[in-house]
Amino acid sequence: MYRRLGWAMLLAQVLALGAARPARAGVYTYQVLFDTDNAPATGCGVPVRDATIDATFPGVERLVTVTVSRTLTDATTTGITVQQCVSGTTFGAPQTVSSGGWPVGIGNGTGGGDVIEGFAPIATLGSPTLVRVAFTATRTGESDVVWSRNGELSGPPILFQLPFRPVPLLSPWGLLGSVLLLGAVAWATLRRGATSRAAALTALAVVSAAAAWALTIMTDGQVSDWGALPPVATDPLGDSSLQDPAEDLVAGFLTADDANVYFRMDVNNINLCLDRIGNAPIPGCCLSDADCSWPQVCGGSVANVCSLVIGWANLQWPPSIMHTISAINRTDSIYGQVWIDGVTNQLGPTAGLRAQLGFGPVASNPAGNPAWTWVDASFNTDAGNNDEFVASLLPDAVGSYDYVYRYSTTNGQAWLYADLNGPVPNGQNPPNPGHMTVSPSSDMTTPATPTGLAVVSASPSAIALSWDAVMGDPTLYGYEVLRSDTAGGPYSIVALVTANNCSDGAVTLGATYYYVVRAVDTSFNRSGLSNEVMATALLRTVTILFNVTVPATTDGTGRSVYIAGFLDRLNGNLPAWNPGGVVLTRVDATHWTITLTGNETTQIEYKYTLGDWDHVEKDGACAEIANRQLTLNYGSTGTQVVNDTVSNWRNVAPCGS
């Protein structure tokens, strides 16, 4: 069956086939299921599945399959086949429709998704009229299905009428061609004296030809030829049963001309390893082992990430420790070992291998458990074919705890947990962890409670606090800073500091927090809570009160006093460096004032004038002066008082120009 394509598309396909690349990752399969008689009781059943659907789509007479291969830089359609239902769930041998060769439209689809285009000759579908359709995506098993118009099992069916007669959609090139052809026809008609009726018929023929050209879809990954054609179905984002964005269908489209049915399936992201902004491979991302440098493998512990594979690890020694609580004395050293085939037998530490030692509640699972505390371990020595690590702990409360090691070759994206027996099976509690007993010290006296907690500054990125230091306590170690989202708590610790100030950088823009602090001594005895303060992660507004003393000659000029400078950095849409733009209020013959507002930490420069630059302030010797400078400071009240003095004015005695 001949497919009507523009010359540009034919050339593109020839070039694509001539430069075909080997697939370095699994081939993805996308299918269109055609119930060509719109009768679910006839035809074959096709098992389909996604995160919410696990069923058999009935009544399928034709199964159209599109295969796509991908590399780190692109994705390409590699073939289209059609199969005919035999019986039950059995289809006949695939019949090749096309060998593919056109690109997937990266980022061109619905919601910035990727566009997979294909076609099937109407004759191979049995020349149907009203068909029922579904779309599927698979790689290693059924992964996503668009069962209905809204993607739900109970949603309305996807129906498509043949022959299809969409509203003609002219591409920009088609429109330009039509205009040029119409102009040529009109010119020729006028020269030959044709009747207006003949001219109109000729023009109509030209427009019809252009419209017919525009109806044919070019399988090139672009969507301009689909025009404003709406999808026949949409599907929820993120409902792939394998959680693979390359198989996460988001929309399906159908159209047709006299020869072919064209379909388009938009997927969430067919290539996670491609930077959509720079259109370049993401470093360290992979689609197969061939994308990684040996001995790394692709997806060893994190999907699509090149990493080393840990073959074995453990908590080496000791099996138990006793510790007296202290803020300055850590536990004895604790060791762990790890083995990576062909790697850790080399001298020195293994690049990219991290180890951490952690402790937490007895008989609990450490994976993702916020009750566990972790510290980085350092490389200790080569132990045979293993790398050995060492670390110590600093528990801050008495009691009994378990401790284990964990290891990562993905910079903490995934961890392998290990106890005295070796690797801990995923999802299980460590069967043989180390045991730590923390005893109280002889010092049971709590330190004094800090006072004077105040907010020094607030911004979208951090909230700074300070308080009065606790004095006269030789056992004082530092302070715990606690935070809550609600007044009065409950609070959680955000920092342990040794100075009487802290900057909390773990804030969310616009969020309001409530803080308290308490003192901690070297035995981790804790004081009561300080006063509570509130802060919002926004720049606070400072009220600036400018008071300026001016020469006694000022009133005699008949002029008012103005302030000019980088006032556009303040609130109120004030002008920048306009000598007559912002006037002060007269208090008496030698005093003027104005109140402005702006965000704390804002820096401005300014001068005073009498309304123009010919009457700008001068120093006591009538010389020019530098711009005044000011940084807005919220302080304790939010009001900043600025007291300035103008010695002289230009062009006002005793100063000249």
CA 194 to chain centre: 64
pLDDT attached to residue 281: 84
Q: Is residue 153 predicted with pLDDT exceeding 70?
A: yes
Pull the structure tokens for residue 202.
């000729």
Reply yes or no on whether the pLDDT at 167 is more than 70.
no
pLDDT at 297 over 80: yes
For residue 571, the surrounding DSSP H or E stretch is none
Q: Are residue 327 and residue 417 in the same domain, yes or no?
A: yes
pLDDT category of residue 163 using cuts at 50, 70 and 90: confident
Residues 125 and 67 in one domain: yes
The answer to whether position 42 is within a domain reads yes
Q: With a cut of 50, say whether residue 371 has pLDDT above it.
A: yes
| Total tally of structural domains belonging to the chain | 5
- The reply to whether 491 falls in a domain is yes
Question: Measured between alpha carbons, how far is 417 from 430 in angstroms, rounded to an integer?
Answer: 8
94 by DSSP, 3-state: which? coil
Determine how many CB atoms are found less than 10 A away from the CB of residue 58. 16
Mean pLDDT lowest among 23-37, 204-218, 227-241, 246-260: 204-218
Indicate whether 313 belongs to any domain.
Answer: yes
Q: Is residue 348 in some structural domain?
A: yes
Question: Does residue 375 sit within a domain?
Answer: yes
Q: In which domain, by residue range, is 205 found?
A: 172-214
Q: Are residues 30 and 93 in the same domain?
A: yes
Res. 540: pLDDT tops 90: no
Alpha-carbon gap, residue 429 to 512, rounded angstroms: 38
Q: Decide if pLDDT at 445 tops 90.
A: yes
Mean pLDDT of 30-56: 95
Residue 304 has pLDDT above 90, yes or no: no
Whether 420 and 471 map to the same domain: the answer is no
The pLDDT of residue 140 is 65
Query: Percent of the chain at pLDDT above 90?
Result: 76
What pLDDT score was predicted for residue 275? 81
The answer to which of 133-142, 164-173, 389-398 has the lowest mean pLDDT is 164-173
Tell me which range, 109-113, 141-145, 610-614, is most confidently predicted by mean pLDDT: 610-614
Q: Closest Cα partner for 418 from 307, 330, 409, 428?
A: 428
Order across the sheet with 463-468: list the strands: 451-458, 463-468, 501-504
pLDDT at 636: 84
Name the one residue in this structure whose structure tokens are 């083995």: 339
Q: What is the pLDDT of residue 623?
A: 95
Instruction: Give the least confident one: 198-207, 350-359, 426-435, 617-626.
Output: 198-207
C-alpha–C-alpha distance, residues 256 and 263, integer Å:
8
Token pair, residue 132, equals: 């029922």
329-341: per-residue pLDDT in tens? 999 999 999 999 9
Strands (E), 114-217: 114-121, 130-138, 142-146, 158-161
Q: What is the pLDDT of residue 278?
A: 72
Strand partners, 548: 592, 644
Pick from 135, 137, 143, 149: which is nearest to 60 by CA?
135
Q: How far is CA 559 from the centre of its chain?
A: 57
DSSP β-ladder status, 297-298 and 306-307? antiparallel
Which pLDDT does position 518 carry in this prediction? Answer: 98
* 28 and 160 share one domain: yes
Query: Averaged over 587-593, what is the pLDDT?
Result: 97
C-alpha count within 13 angstroms, C-beta hemisphere, residue 391: 22
3-class SS of residue 205: helix
Is residue 631 situated within a structural domain?
yes
CA distance 653 to 650: 8
The answer to whether the beta carbons of residues 117 and 260 sit under 8 Å apart is no
On the question of pLDDT at 27 being above 90, the answer is: no
pLDDT at position 282: 86
CA-to-CA distance for 200 and 215, rounded, in angstroms?
Answer: 23
Kindly indicate the confidence band of residue 202, based on its pLDDT and cuts at 50, 70 and 90: very low
Residue 316 — left, alpha, or beta (φ > 0 → left; ψ -120 to 50 → alpha)? alpha
Last residue of a domain, one of 515, 536, 557: 536
Would you say 310 and 297 are in contact if contact means Cβ atoms under 8 Å apart?
no
Residue 630 has pLDDT above 90, yes or no: yes
Task: State how far the Cα of 630 lies from the Cα of 607, in Å rounded to an integer.
Answer: 11
Quick check: 171 pLDDT over 90? no
48/142 same-domain check: yes
Single out the residue in 407, 439, 471 at which a domain terminates: 439
- 287 assigned to some structural domain: no
**Among the three residues 411, 439, 467, which one is the final residue of a domain in this structure?**
439
> Is the domain of 315 the same as that of 199?
no
Residues 6+ apart with CB under 8 A from 337: 313, 314, 316, 383, 386, 387, 388, 389
Domain identity same for 130 and 269: yes
Claim to verify: residue 112 and residue 143 sit in the same structural domain: yes
Q: Are residues 325 and 200 in the same domain?
A: no
**Is residue 14 predicted with pLDDT exceeding 90?**
no
Q: What is the pLDDT of residue 166?
A: 52
- Same domain? For 59 and 133 the reply is yes
Output the CA angle 593-595-600, nearest 5 degrees: 135
* Cα gap 370→393, rounded to integer Å: 16
411 & 520 share domain:
no
pLDDT of residue 176: 52
pLDDT at 185 over 80: no
Query: What is the average pLDDT across 439-466?
Result: 95
CATH classification at residue 546: 2.60.40.10
What is the β-pairing status of strands 320-324 and 434-439? parallel
Confidence bin at 184 (pLDDT 50/70/90) = low
> Does residue 529 lie in a domain region?
yes
